[in-house]
Amino acid sequence: MGLIISSCKQDYSTTRIVGKRLTISDSLATNPEIEAYIKPYREKVNRDLDSILAYAAETYSKSDGKLNTAIGNFMADAVFEMSNPVFQKRTNKFIDMVLLNHGGIRSIISKGNITSRTAYKIMPFDNSVYVIPMKGQQIKDMLSFLAKKKRAHPISKLKLTLSEDYSIKDALINDEAIDYEKTYHVATNDYLYNGGSNMHFFKSKDTVYDLNYKIRNLLIDYFKKIDTLQPSIDDRFIQIKTIKNET
């Protein structure tokens, strides 16, 4: 008696895909058990976020100035003040200057109490401080970028003066003329180091230092140090215009 084996093969094909929109709104009923479980954690987080750290003397916005703003100056100065001791302790070197990006400031600081929530609003991203060794050509490219963009990118320890035609009239780091044979250590964030905001000049073949210090946490630490926040627009990045005498 012979053995016969047979198989049946059935073809499956998709003829139609149907999607259905599920609307999420306040009208959806909450789960009492889940809500009860989450409630103490939510309350603790809100207490932490709303604890008062400092006081803002005025309302500060990134649109308040043309080439430098009070809020941008505060952020760059805070990055320098809080990061430099960390960098020095780890490397026995110093940060020479700071450059951040104007678009990274995501909120105003309103006049009144400053809380941890304020820091989360200004910097909602998890960007960390990077310190980049930058040689002469990189510094030149950075200065040319700032002059060309004509935007209030936050800087600290750099003083840049533009002529009426936006050419570079003068540039100082730590109040000294720039030595283009020297390597400068520039603090920024990981987003900019990786080419964000078209700042491609940061890329370096040398060792790059990740301080593992989130800028948001840095701002919270800075707020805890001070009593009143009162930054100002100054002369760190300005344009000099020629005054014409009328005859």
Q: Each residue of 70-99: pLDDT tens digit? A: 999 999 999 999 999 999 999 999 999 999
By CB atoms closer than 10 A (0-12, 13-18, 19+), residue 81 is: middle
Residue 101 lies in a domain: yes
How high is the pLDDT of residue 49?
Answer: 73
Number of domains in the chain: 1
The predicted model gives 192-201 an average pLDDT of 97
Task: Report whether pLDDT(119) > 70.
Answer: yes
Residue 18 lies in a domain: no
Residue 31 lies in a domain: no
The predicted model gives 57-65 an average pLDDT of 97
How high is the pLDDT of residue 100?
Answer: 98
For the chain, give the percent of residues with pLDDT over 70: 85
Q: Are 128 and 190 spatial neighbours (Cβ–Cβ below 8 Å)? A: yes
Residue 223 lies in a domain: yes
How far is Cα 155 from Cα 41, in angstroms, rounded to an integer? 38
Residue 208 lies in a domain: yes
Q: How many residues does the chain have?
A: 247
CATH value at residue 129: 3.90.780.10
Residue 199 lies in a domain: yes
What's the domain range around 169?
A: 50-235
Q: Each residue of 22-49: pLDDT tens digit? A: 676 767 677 787 777 666 656 566 666 7
CA nearest 211: which of 91, 76, 75, 77?
Answer: 91
Identify the residue whose tokens are 């890329």.
203
Count of other CB atoms within 10 angstroms of residue 222: 20
